[in-house]
Amino acid sequence: MMILGLVRWMQPVHGYDVRRELLSWSADKWANVQPGSIYHALRKLTDEGLLRTVSVEQVGARPARTTYEVTAKGEEEFETLLRAQWWQLNETPDPFVAAFSFLPAMPRDEAAAALRNRANLIRAGIESMRASLDSDWVRNRKPVHVGWMFELWLARAEADMGWCLRIAERIESGVSYLPAGMERAEGWSGWQDGGPPCGEDAD
């Protein structure tokens, strides 16, 4: 829960503020926090004693606005959580990798086309990121580490793009998907390209 971090950083705040800040970072992309989660998180953190409610204002007949701030215990917990993320390496799930593992279920030409398309999408992303990086907005109005995050995305994107192109070429070159050791040997009957495999337990 990095909601806690945000509250710590903006306290005292109410839910809607947090939500706006998250959206403005388009953090629903790289954290997993959709608007709806926020209020739940705030309440849970309060129950756990990491946050404290400061006040509950009411303007007119609108929903009450609850303001939160971080307790000493919350402060401590945040440090712990933060360090956990900084010092640990944790692979995060990637749906494309999952999909790629089903490569043999795609016709060769479509697979190659999709990879090239992907490379193009990534290239477009790279360009707009480059533009942002050079823009006054990021260079002079934002803390420098925001730019550094862009650089990370850039580096990853370039790695991905290169890979897509390399793999597209290999697929087009028509190499067999079968394990090198067993060109047309046992058990791989279901591994034709594109066709629905009718196979057994492989491995």
Partner DNA sequence: AGCACTGTAGTCAAATTTGGCTATTACGCT
Partner DNA sequence: AGCGTAATAGCCAAATTTGACTACAGTGCT
For tokens 């016709």, the residue is: 107
CB of 38 to DNA, least distance (A): 7
CB of 21 to a copy of itself, least distance (A): 8
CA pair distance 114, 78, nearest whole angstrom: 42
Is residue 17 near a copy of itself by the rule CB under 8 A?
Answer: yes
Is residue 104 near a copy of itself by the rule CB under 8 A?
Answer: yes
Q: Of 47, 63, 80, 201, which lies in the binding site for a copy of itself, with binding defined by CB under 8 A?
A: 201
User: Which element (helix H / strand E) includes 203?
Assistant: none
> Rounded to 5 degrees, what angle do the CA atoms 101, 104, 109 make?
115
CB of 142 to a copy of itself, least distance (A): 6
| Torsion from C-alpha of 162, 167, 173, 176, nearest 10 degrees | 160
Q: Of 16, 27, 54, 71, which lies in the binding site for a copy of itself, with binding defined by CB under 8 A?
A: 27
Is residue 93 near a copy of itself by the rule CB under 8 A?
Answer: yes
CA pair distance 111, 109, nearest whole angstrom: 5
The alpha carbons of the chain give a radius of gyration, in whole angstroms, of 24
Query: What residues make contact with DNA under the rule CB under 7 A?
Result: 1, 14-17, 20, 32-37, 39-41, 44, 59-66
Are β-strands 51-57 and 13-14 bridged in parallel, bridged antiparallel, or unpaired?
Answer: unpaired
Closest CB to a copy of itself among residues 43, 147: 147
Is residue 59 near a copy of itself by the rule CB under 8 A?
Answer: no
Is residue 184 near a copy of itself by the rule CB under 8 A?
Answer: no
